[in-house]
Amino acid sequence: MAARSIASLTLSFGLVSIPVKLYSATRASGTISFNLLHQKDGSRLRQQYVCVKEDVVVPREEIVKGYEFAKDQYVMFTPEELKALEEMGSHSVDIVEFVPLSTVDPVYFDKAYYLGPDKGGAKPYALFARALADTGRCAIGRYAARGKQYIVMLRPIDGGLVMQQLLYNTEVRSIDELEVPKAEVREAELQLARQLIDSQTAEAFDPGRYKDEVRERIEAAIRRKVEGQEITLAEPEPERAQVIDLMEALRASLGRQAEAKPAARAEGRKPPRRAEAARAKKAGKK
């Protein structure tokens, strides 16, 4: 089924304007959620808001929003005042600068969207995507929606464009906040670590290799429950021993990788051609 656009936008930089359509790049995984029930009769529970001062249930029509400016001191806002504070939504992505794609740390990545060309925008869209790919750069711009202003990054992907929302600098903690002690690394240890990395290196990331095993296990347990079966607790995995000798642990890991490779090759090995020919000849005689 063809993707459906969720908005129409314009990419603007200098005197250039490219009409595009916005598409969700990801789909909701349908997170498994459990409802709160009354154990006695299995009925759903309803959430209520209670005033901590009067200890009474407050109906929704008496609920307003407020901001805590000091301990237990709030300033209240009406819905109209909150609406006035929101950023006006725009139908334009205003590009501010172009930077090398490699300089944007993925820690700043937030939600991603695909951009497709809108009517009359096929040629400039293709030109823009190709230019970004050839230069190894991405575009950084601003975009306003849902009452907020976002920093966005436009990057090329397979001839198209991805609009990646970025986190603001104040939203990302610095790694300097961690107390990472300095440790001496010996060349022999580094060499073994490199070998271990090389032994588990693939040509490219293949997302199809990974599945949400926890979700599959929970779904299977829910099906068993619906069918009236009991759920048995899985045996906890034994705790791994603490690494005392780093060199020994690296050597053991390399040995395990070496043992796993012949088994993997044997599984994917095709039968010898002679055996295939013999079986085919025998079948023909029959």
DSSP string, 189-242: HHHHHHHHHHHT--SS--GGG---HHHHHHHHHHHHHHTTPPPPPPPPPPPPPP
| 175 belongs to a structural domain | no
**CATH number (domain holding residue 165):** 2.40.290.10
Task: Determine, yes or no, domain membership for 20.
Answer: yes
| Assigned domain for 161 exists | yes
Residue 176 lies in a domain: no
Encode 121-154: b = buried (16+ Cβ within 10 Å), e = exposed: beebbeebbeebeeeebbbbbebbbeeeebbbbb
Task: Say if residue 277's pLDDT is above 60.
Answer: no
**Full residue range of the structural domain in which residue 145 is found:** 7-26+87-170
Q: Which range in 61-70, 192-201, 226-235 is most confidently predicted, on average pLDDT?
A: 61-70
Assigned domain for 34 exists: no
Residue 153 located in a structural domain:
yes
Q: Lowest-confidence range among 101-105, 107-111, 124-128, 255-259?
A: 255-259
Q: What would the pLDDT profile of 126-183 be if each residue is shown by its tens digit?
A: 999 999 999 999 999 999 887 789 999 999 999 999 999 999 999 999 988 898 888 8
Look at the chain and report how many structural domains it folds into.
1
For the entire predicted model, the pTM comes to 0.69
Indicate the range of 15-29, 33-47, 65-79, 265-279 predicted with least confidence: 265-279
